[in-house]
Amino acid sequence: MIGPPSSPDRDGLMMGDFFGSKGKHIVCGGTTAHLAASYLGKPLEVVLDYQSSTIPPIGRIEGVELVTEGVVTIGLALEAAKRYLSYGCDDFRDTAKTDGVSALCRLLFDAEEPINFYIGTAVNDAHQAPKLEIDFNHKMEVINGLIDALGKMRKEVTAKFY
The domain of 132 spans: 8-161
The whole-angstrom separation of Cα 4 and Cα 8 is: 8
Amino acid at 101: V
Domain count, the chain: 1
Q: For residue range 111-162, list pLDDT tens digits in order.
A: 999 999 999 999 876 555 566 666 788 999 999 999 999 999 999 999 999 9
- Domain-embedded: residue 2: no
- Domain-embedded: residue 3: no
- Please report the pLDDT score of residue 52 as a whole number: 84
Q: Are 156 and 115 in contact (CB under 8 A)?
A: yes
Please give the model's pTM, rounded to 2 decimal places.
Answer: 0.92
The whole-angstrom separation of Cα 129 and Cα 62 is: 34
- Domain-embedded: residue 1: no
List of long-range contacts for 42-50, beta carbons under 8 Å, 24+ apart: 50/98, 50/99, 50/100
- Domain-embedded: residue 31: yes
Of the pLDDT bands very low, low, confident and very high (cuts 50, 70, 90), residue 49 is: confident
- Domain-embedded: residue 30: yes
- Domain-embedded: residue 129: yes
